[in-house]
Structure 1
Amino acid sequence: MFVHKMDEDLSLKLMELRDGERVFELTNHSREYLKEWLPWLNTTTKLEDTLEFIKIALKDLAENKSLNTVILFKGKIVGVAGYNSINWSNKTAYIGYWLGEDYQGNGIMTKVAKALTDYAFSELDLNKVEIRAAVGNKKSRSIPERLNFVNEGSIRQAEWLYDHYVDHVVYGILAEEWNKNRSTFNTNI
């Protein structure tokens, strides 16, 4: 079982079917909050929808296409994060994440994104990590900015959010940049 411990309170664990109930409960509790920036809330309306997502995530993991984890904070699932996809030809991982509304503001997601970036370079031997976020999603954009990712530009109308399109900012960091700057990171992130 994949478990990556970041500190005493925070770790990532490979998503399992038995996590479905808690992930769905967290989704439901944070539904209106998450809906501002995530396009899948209207299609995740019952536990079976979350279980189907986990089944697909596990299939993609087995096929080496992605890696999805639950975020454990003080032993409780508080969000989901991982590589939405991995492009092995180009040696690039695409990080995606969401956190329950009640757990915002604790530095959790910055630590998670840092750990996933580290893992991509040190364990998977990838060359690049990307994080994409809606232009207006300042909280999500602050994470790659804090981690010294480079703003590589934007994609117009990149995503349909229920009744409108949003543009995305693409952030990227190369293995050589990450390794060079690792010692400058705030260890309290």
Structure 2
Amino acid sequence: MFTYKIDEELQLKLVESKDAKALFKLTNESREYLSEWLGWLDSTKKVEDTKAFIEMSRKNYAENKSLSTLILYKGEIVGTAGYNSIDWTNKIAYIGYWLGEEYQGNGIMTRVAKALTDYAFYELQLNRVDIRVAVENKKSRAIPERLGFQNEGTIRQAEWLYNHYVDHIIYGMLKSNWTTSAQ
């Protein structure tokens, strides 16, 4: 079972079936807020949908394809974060995350993204970490910028969000830059 202690307040833990109700509740409570930037909410209408996500996530983890964790803040589930995918051939992890609306503004996601980057470089021995963010999602963009990730360009119409396309910025960090700039 994967767990990763970030600090006294924060921990990441592999998502489990027993977490489905709590995770669905958090998703549902933040649905309107999250829907501005997350396109998967329409396919998460009931606890069973969250259970299916968890099963898929655990299968992908077992196959070494991705890592989906719960963010525990003071012992409470406040969001999810992890590697949406891991490209072992090219040694790249792609970080994704979301946080419940009421937990914004506590520096949680910056600490989580830093921990996931550390883990990718020092535990998994990867060479690169990417974070893709919608251009207009200022709060989410602030996270890789705060951590010193480089803006490597924009992908036009990268994602369909309900009734429109959004462009994405790709932020990248190389292991060689992380050791000198982010510690």
TM-score normalised by structure 1 residue count? 0.96
Match of 2:119 in 1: 119
Match of 2:16 in 1: 16
Task: Tell me the distance in 2 between the aligned counterparts of 1:35 and 1:67.
Answer: 22
SS of equivalent to 2:182: helix
Aligned amino acid, residue 8 of structure 1: E
Match of 1:187 in 2: none
Deviations 1:3-22 (A, max 9, x none): 11111111101111111111
Match of 1:87 in 2: 87
Match of 2:49 in 1: 49
Match of 1:96 in 2: 96
Match of 1:172 in 2: 172
Aligned amino acid, residue 141 of structure 1: R
- Please report the RMSD computed on the Cα atoms of aligned residues, expressed in angstroms: 0.6
Deviations 1:87-146 (A, max 9, x none): 000000000000000100000000000000000000000000000000000000000000
Structure 1 unaligned regions, length at least 5: 184-189
Task: Tell me the distance in 2 between the aligned counterparts of 1:6 and 1:53.
Answer: 24
The Cα of 1:182 is off from its aligned counterpart by: 3.1
Task: Tell me the distance in 2 between the aligned counterparts of 1:119 and 1:44.
Answer: 29
Runs of 4 or more, structure 1, over 4 Å off, are none
Match of 1:162 in 2: 162
Match of 1:141 in 2: 141
Q: Contact 2:83 / 2:96 at 8 angstroms: preserved in 1?
A: yes
Task: Tell which deviates more after alignment, 108-117 or 15-24.
Answer: 15-24
The Cα of 1:2 is off from its aligned counterpart by: 1.5
Match of 1:66 in 2: 66
Aligned amino acid, residue 49 of structure 1: D
Q: Contact 2:148 / 2:182 at 8 angstroms: preserved in 1?
A: no
Aligned amino acid, residue 43 of structure 1: S
SS of equivalent to 2:60: helix
Task: Tell me the distance in 1 between the aligned counterparts of 2:116 and 2:6.
Answer: 10
TM-score normalised by structure 2 residue count? 0.99
Task: Tell me the distance in 2 between the aligned counterparts of 1:18 and 1:175.
Answer: 35
Aligned amino acid, residue 53 of structure 1: F
Aligned amino acid, residue 63 of structure 1: E
